[in-house]
A = this chain, B = another copy of it.
């Protein structure tokens, strides 16, 4: 018999639980899938909302009185004559060691519901919507950059020096208005842009790259959007233009050639080769992309040097970049859904470096 499947986790930190129960809570909850039925066990505080919101077969009260979650789980399993459970491999080992005293515990796959990587048409629609909102925010950011005046190399907007912080704030407000959680959009200029995880700070400048990377999460569907464009206010130096052209060529090649059935490693190597052939053998310091869904980075967590067979229904980012001192970084990112014959780009946004 197949073991029962159990998750004890905070749904905010466990997208498998979100996927399986479609329920959000600020504290850990207990989920059990047994003989094809899903049950969510909730505290008195959560149970009313759970019954209204969760997509499970049953919502039951979490037995109280016992202070220890392992003891609570033993009671629930005993009632159901369950002696063997499968849990996510990232389950707390202290909990698993306690459970192993009375039941057989094995590690399930990661993700625990691998099916969530294969997006249904409805899920693709939610991701497309998120991507359109993301591009809406990108349009706003580009428009603000376009409205700036250049004085002594700095950008002035509405009479004040435009900073990463101000542009990030404007993007965030736009996303909140659309009922998206903005997280922390990257607006990184010059030296900041050479570090892909530097979110950027201080004045934005003309004649150098400004990376804008926006990855909001829908508060209704819980799916993420993710897009990056690189802009230069005013004429770009020739070297930057060349760097941009190499990234764009590699990115567009990947959008045309990535498909299900491929090894991610192959695509990544080819993307790197295209940029090397364009004169940039160094500076591509991250993977070509990552899975996107209920997690911002989900399997394949990296389309990179690691073997990973791409499957039909995957939604992944395609985002090569080149990071070069002292000029700065360039990254261009779109999101695609994969089929056996190719990739469909979600949404559309132009790729143009200079804002003149």
Specify which of B26, B92, B196 is in contact with A93 (CB 8 Å cutoff): B92
Instruction: In the complex, identify which listed stretch (A44-52, A118-126, A138-146, A338-346) lies at the interface while the others stay far away.
Output: A44-52
User: Is A285 interfacial (CB 8 A cutoff)?
Assistant: yes
From 202 to 247 in chain A, residues with beta carbon under 8 angstroms from any chain B beta carbon are 219
Tell which of B27, B67, B91, B197 touches A45, judged by Cβ atoms closer than 8 Å. Answer: B197
A residues 89-147 with Cβ under 8 Å of B?
89-97, 107, 110
User: A107 contacts which chain B residues (CB < 8 A)?
Assistant: 93-94, 97
Which residues of chain B are near A219, meaning CB under 8 Å?
A: 184
Choice from B44, B172, B195, B286 contacting A176 with Cβ under 8 Å:
B172
A177 at the interface (CB under 8 A from B): yes
Q: Give a binary string over A40-67; 1 marks a CB under 8 Å from any B CB, 0 the rest.
A: 0000111011000000000000000001
Contact yes or no, A45 B285, CB < 8 A: yes
Chain B residues in 8 Å Cβ range of A44: 285
Q: Mark A272-287, 1 if CB is under 8 A from B, else 0.
A: 0000000000000110
**Contact mask A170-183 → B, CB, 8 Å, 1/0?**
00110011010110
Q: Is A169 in contact with chain B by the CB < 8 A criterion?
A: yes
Instruction: Tell me, yes or no, whether A311 is within 8 Å of chain B by CB.
Output: no
Tally of this chain's copies: 2
The residue in chain B whose Cβ has the minimal distance to the Cβ of A67 is: B306
Interface bracket on A: 35 or more
Complex interface bits, A153-195 against B, C-beta within 8 A gives 1, otherwise 0: 0000000000001000100110011010110100000000011
User: Chain B nearest CB: distance from A275 CB in Å?
Assistant: 16
Q: Is A82 located at the chain interface by the 8 A CB criterion?
A: no
Is A13 part of the contact surface with B, judged by Cβ < 8 Å? yes
Q: Is the CB of B49 within 8 A of A198?
A: yes
CA distance A195 to B45 in the complex (A): 7
Q: How far is the CA of A49 from the CA of B45 in the complex (A)?
A: 41
For window 1-47 of chain A, which residues contact chain B by CB distance below 8 Å? Answer: 13, 25-27, 44-46
Write out the residue numbers on chain B whose beta carbons fall within 8 Å of the beta carbon of A46: 197
- If A26-B296, A45-B197, A173-B176 are given as contacts, then 16 extra A-B residue pairs at C-beta distance below 8 Å, sorted by A number, are A26-B197, A26-B297, A27-B297, A45-B196, A45-B285, A48-B194, A67-B306, A89-B92, A90-B94, A91-B93, A93-B95, A93-B96, A93-B97, A93-B107, A172-B176, A184-B219
